[in-house]
Amino acid sequence: MMPLEIVIVGRPNVGKSTLFNRLAGRRLALVDKEPGLTRDRREAEAQIGSLDVRLVDTAGLEEAPDKSLEARMRAQTEAAIARADIILFIVDSRAGIVPVDETFAELARVSAKPVILVANKCEGTAGEAGFYESYRLGLGEPIAISAEHGEGLGELYRAILAAAGEAGETGTEESVDVADRPLRIAIVGRPNAGKSTLLNAIVGEERVITGEEAGITRDSIAVGVNWRGRGLLLYDTAGLRRKARVKERAERLSVGSALDAIRFAEIVILLVDAEIPFEKQDLQIAELIADEGRGIVIALNKWDLVDDKKSKLKELVGEAERLLPQIRGVPVVPITATKGEGLKRLMEAAFAAYGCWNKRVPTSALNRWLEYARERHPPPAVQGRRLKLRYMTQPNARPPTFVLFSSRPEKLPQAYRRYLVNGLREAFDLPGVPIRLNTRKGKNPYA
């Protein structure tokens, strides 16, 4: 059987070659910030699950005069589209949708081939606006990825396998599993909280240097380990102090490296000293993790030094609920890193947080819940007109992200937003993960 041909198209510098390299599993195409490095089609054989595919990287689509180099590059891309079984149409979610995206989206649509809309550069929060803007291209629900960091590939694989069914191929979704690659976990906290000691305890050896002196760890160290059959990539990070106290260049670089580790991670373990828990800096770090949309587990270290452990744990869980309402239900796990105590509970909480972080809610269940939430607490009237909540969908997980279509989204009060977010968290069992609720004006895009 001939391999399925998957063509990657889009305007220049949206990340086509980066995604090509990522799907191929090796660096074949040149990648740089300078647009236009790819001119000819580049092909590579690859496997997605049990599906044999031929990947085709193409030149950036541009409007150009006839017989110019850009026009010849476009002709190469159009020829690749004509041969394709599946088209991956990539947009840059950070730059947003531009007119040339709309022009070439029409080219992809009229090809009558299965088209998967891929919103690249969605790491962090800077790409959210462009992601939702890409709905207007009329190519269906976009898939949020970061080709550079490898985020969102599980969703993309599933979309490719579904499209392969449309193209007459026989791939099975169960053969693709993001568990095939290590789960990325960053360990963060204030200086001297015991981060390196915890990493060594999980790994089972003195993998990183530890000591009583604060600030031993400078760079973020990534260590691979197999935890009871599951591959992990653990990041030990420098301690995060208040910005005003960070003066030396070396420490500024260390802090930057720690922040990068948070952005690259899927789950973040926030290590807190059980004797002086929830200092202002602990709360600011937790807020930073939530803002980056990462799953979070709070580990209370040095638990062996705490008296009346049962009542103290109950007190600290209540404190976490009160002080961190944006991640209500966040797991709080007592550990003693120096003795290796509590590690099993900690890793179970991390895996559970990862499950919540990846959770998807069926659209039908989501809208049944929305109807219930509306009846229980109707949206308020603003300037004499009641707000209409029309429809809700979940375009993305990692973290769970929901879009509410409303008559006047800009008028929806923050208090009502919190009511909806808390209701989503409770109804669909999403404790402790950041929940994104975006509002849009318009009709049901699936109608």
Transcribe 325-381 into DSSP letters.
GGGTT--EEE-BGGGTBTHHHHHHHHHHHHHHHT----HHHHHHHHHHHHHHSPPPE
Please, what are the domains in the chain?
A: 4-178 (3.40.50.300), 182-357 (3.40.50.300), 363-441 (3.30.300.20)
Going by pLDDT thresholds of 50, 70 and 90, the confidence category of residue 170 is very low
Q: Is the pLDDT assigned to residue 174 strictly greater than 50?
A: no
Q: What are phi and psi of 15, to 5 degrees?
A: 110, 25
Segment 115-132 shows an average pLDDT of 85
Q: Is the pLDDT assigned to residue 364 strictly greater than 50?
A: yes
Going by pLDDT thresholds of 50, 70 and 90, the confidence category of residue 36 is very low
Segment 151-170 shows an average pLDDT of 75
- Are the CB atoms for 206 and 221 separated by under 8 Å? no
Going by pLDDT thresholds of 50, 70 and 90, the confidence category of residue 261 is confident
Residue corresponding to tokens 């159009």: 78
Q: Is the pLDDT assigned to residue 292 strictly greater than 80?
A: yes
Q: What is the 3-state secondary structure (H, E, C) of 26-77?
A: CCCCCCCCCCCCCCCCEEEEEEECCEEEEEEECCCCCCCCCCCHHHHHHHHH
Rounded Cα distance, 141 and 117, in Å = 7
Q: For residue 442, what pLDDT is reported?
A: 61
Q: Is the pLDDT assigned to residue 57 strictly greater than 50?
A: yes
Q: Which long-range contacts (CB under 8 A, 24 or more apart) does 75-79 make?
A: 76/39, 76/40, 76/41, 77/9, 77/41, 78/107, 79/41
Q: For residue 66, what pLDDT is reported?
A: 53
Residues 6+ apart with CB under 8 A from 148: 15, 18, 121, 123
Q: For residue 443, what pLDDT is reported?
A: 54
Q: For residue 347, what pLDDT is reported?
A: 97
Going by pLDDT thresholds of 50, 70 and 90, the confidence category of residue 419 is very high
Q: Which of 54-63, 161-170, 348-357, 416-425 has the lowest mean pLDDT?
A: 161-170
**Half-sphere exposure at residue 34, Cβ-oriented, CA atoms within 13 angstroms:** 4
- pLDDT tens digit string along 67-93? 554 555 566 667 778 888 899 999 999
